[in-house]
Amino acid sequence: MGRLLTALAMLLGLALVSAVPASASANRTAASAREYGDTLPPVGFVQFCARVPENCQAETRHRRFAMTEEKWLLVRMVNTFVNGAIAPVSDESLYGTAEYWTLPTDAGDCEDIMLLKKKLLVEKGISADSLRITVVLDENGGGHAVLTLITSAGDFILDNRRNDIRNWSATGYTFLKRQAQHDPRKWVSLEPNKSGVSATPGGTASE
């Protein structure tokens, strides 16, 4: 982890260009995803929080994060850096189990990569309350995990499958659920009439 932080610091020091997502700069009132009530968190997330509870603590302040160009630059650089530093490998290949959430060092699946992005961004000063672990279905109906950045301009997605940061509505994904605002251990549904849905990244949703 120390080597990753050192490399990221060097990369940020070399960055000279703005990184505001086009959808953020062009439309300051970009839509945010609607929440529909409590639902069940992924089992892998529950196990991760039990092992490392310090990564699942609530913040005392709750707000939509106002992003500056410098903060957008930081977010884009972390997203691109982690995507390049962590090789996408399934939990089955790495750990011999279908689902194991953890902070990766050089390889991991979508939820591991997403967890590392959240950790690095929080350490760099982005509010943990504005970074929500999110479960979606991709274009092929497969389970996938991404990181949602909640801002005053809308909800933006950090994805290990692409380096550009898009508004949630421009990803092509079906959004199932994400962490709740006031307690990161609780989750809310992003689908109407779907409270209680359990979904696993890398698989499909099931009741």
pTM of the model: 0.82
Residue 195 has pLDDT above 80, yes or no: no
Q: What is the pLDDT of residue 163?
A: 96
Model confidence pLDDT, tens digit, residues 34-70: 999 999 999 999 999 999 999 898 876 655 567 899 9
pLDDT tens string 70-122: 999 999 999 999 999 999 999 999 999 999 999 999 999 999 999 999 999 99
| Domains, the chain | 2-8+42-55+64-189 (3.10.620.30)
Residue 197 pLDDT > 60: no
**154-159: strand order across its sheet:** 38-39, 187-189, 174-179, 131-137, 143-151, 154-159, 162-167
Q: Are 201 and 144 in contact (CB under 8 A)?
A: yes
Strand partners, 149: 131, 156
Spatial contact of 199 and 177, defined as CB atoms under 8 Å apart: yes
Average pLDDT, the chain: 83
Give me the helix-helix angle, 2-14 and 69-85, nearest 10°. Answer: 130
